[in-house]
Amino acid sequence: MPDLFAPYELKGLTLKNRVVMPPMCQYAVEKQDGMPNDWHFVHYVSRAVGGTGFIIVEMTGIHPDGRITNKDTGIWGDHQIEAYRKLTEAVHAGGAKIGIQLGHAGRKALDAEPPVAPSAIPFDAQSKTPRALSKPEIAELIEAYREGARRAVEAGFDTVEIHGAHGYLIHQFHSPLTNVREDEYGSDPVLFGEQVVQAVRDVLPAEMPLLMRVSAKEYVEGGYDEDYALDVCRRYKAAGVDMFHVSSGGEGPIGSNGGPNAGPAYQVDLAEHIRSGLQIPVIAVGRLESYEDAQSIVSEERAELVAVGRGMLSDPYWALHAEEALGGVEKSSVPAAYERGVWKRK
């Protein structure tokens, strides 16, 4: 049976273990220019040194107005490539592989004037009313995703993840709560995301896997369920997605995601549903900071990879500590400079 610390391969991507650091926005771009800075460098490289096999950089805007806030990262211009190359090279030196999540916040872009969305429906009573995208603007955004992916490849990322979850733009097209368009993007709510996937796939090397994060369930009244999400993902798999990163919610206020059942591993059943329904590898995520939970998800073959978010915010060395707790670390797992530390070894 697979182990949390067994290697994993997907097309040309080879990971030393099954531990993933998922995208988590840092809101740390003080110059508001979209460029990763020293904070991001330390944040990501420390998790590579800490034993994580696969790091996915936070949602990175493909357009300046596609960021959640103006303090988020972006990759809308060639001038930004070098800053990301510095990051990818350092993460590789730390022994990890690194991907980038490309996204657009749509109606949840707090600093956009105004935000854009499939339809002119605000997120809540306190939010700005977005402007409904025209079809030429939709075409421009699809091209922006393509160009963002091209820049990611040039910057040395090992893979690209498209953000189609958490109430952001692609998810807004999916959802009956936010898409009431009367054109083909309304009658076919997967069409925009499908065209984004195809555009991104076009510029990735053939051996580079394409990942997509999806919300497999909505929690507010009128939202879709996991069977609807399975049909959505089936289209994305056909368009070129190689692995799904399965989350949920985001269409409603904070606290609605999962309701009272949002405990440890609360989204793993959703990941299993996509995995078994499409025969495709998945990343499970959601309150998985327990070493034993993470191990069991992999060993029981409920998901290929396990993403640990808040646990890694608390402990940059979560992966090494998990390996230690679950049987002892191999000498090769510990950076040479840290070998004098007290490690329980196999």
Known catalytic membership, residue 163 = yes
Three-class DSSP category at 109: coil
Kindly write down the DSSP assignment for every residue of 139-160, as one continuous string.
HHHHHHHHHHHHHHHHTT-SEE
Please name the residue ranges forming H helices in 134-288.
Answer: 135-154, 169-174, 184-187, 191-203, 226-239, 268-278
Give me the sign of the Cα torsion angle 5, 287, 267, 167.
negative
Q: Determine whether 339 is exposed, middle or buried from the number of CB atoms within 10 Å of its CB (0-12, 13-18, 19+).
A: exposed
Report strand pairing: 210-215 vs 13-15: unpaired
What are the Cα distances from residue 106, in Å, to 123, 131, 186, 251? 10, 10, 16, 12
Phi, psi angle pair for 171, to nearest 5°: -60, -35
The tokens for 171 are: 């998810």
Task: Give me the sign of the Cα torsion angle 165, 169, 171, 177.
Answer: positive
Helical residues (DSSP H) of the chain, grouped into ranges: 38-49, 81-93, 135-154, 169-174, 184-187, 191-203, 226-239, 268-278, 291-299, 310-314, 318-325
Spatial CB neighbours of 178, under 8 Å, sequence gap ≥ 6: 107, 117, 118, 119, 121, 167, 171, 172, 251
How far is Cα 249 from Cα 225, in angstroms, rounded to an integer? Answer: 10
One of 63, 163, 171, 321 is an active-site residue; which one?
163
Distance in angstroms (rounded) separating the CA atoms of residues 42 and 37: 9
Find out whether 157 and 88 touch, Cβ atoms under 8 Å: yes
Catalytic residue among 44, 168, 219, 317: 168
166 is a catalytic site residue: yes
Q: Which is catalytic among the residues 104, 166, 171, 273?
A: 166
Active site residues: 163, 166, 168
